[in-house]
Amino acid sequence: MKISLTKRYRFAASHRLYTPRLSEAENKRVYGKCSNAYGHGHNYVVEVTVTGPVDPETGMIANVGELDPFVQREVIEPFDQRFLNEEVPEFREQVATTENVCREIFRRLKSFPSAKLERVRVEETSKNSFEIEADVGAFDEVRVSRGATTQ
């Protein structure tokens, strides 16, 4: 039997879907209006799921009270009210798609010391979401699955 805890967080940020490896016309073709030069914003919703044994003393998965400040420090502070492409160093190297935002959030949270990070799910809009689950037995291997069609 496995028990998990999911907490939901929010941040607002802007991004531009654009890669210098493609021409302007190709960026337009691949990313459409999402490649417009001055970017656009989203109200992102992030769900973080951790698992672990229930402490018989407290009745809780170990130290879940530490999760909020950890997520705040690792993700919300550096992402909220930012232009992701420029202000989060990892997105200078990779396109700030929500797949990559989801992967970066997972990477930043996987060292959470008090429970095992199991899943990160990011809603970019009410119509699409992306999620990463830790693979059993291969903690660093992650799968990205798309929740719904874009736009």
Q: Which positions lie near Ni ion, rule CB under 5 A? A: 34
Distance in angstroms (rounded) separating the CA atoms of residues 53 and 50: 10
Which CB sits closer to Ni ion, 31 or 62?
Answer: 31
Could you give phi then psi for residue 12, rounded to 5 degrees? -115, 135
Distance in angstroms (rounded) separating the CA atoms of residues 77 and 103: 17
Which CB sits closer to Ni ion, 44 or 112?
Answer: 44
Q: How far apart are the first and last CA of the chain?
A: 38
**Minimum distance from CB of 133 to Ni ion (Å)?**
23
**Minimum distance from CB of 10 to Ni ion (Å)?**
16
Tell me the residue nearest to Ni ion as measured from the CB: 34
**Minimum distance from CB of 7 to Ni ion (Å)?**
24
Which CB sits closer to Ni ion, 118 or 124?
Answer: 124
Residue from 100, 103, 131, 104 nearest 6 by CA:
131
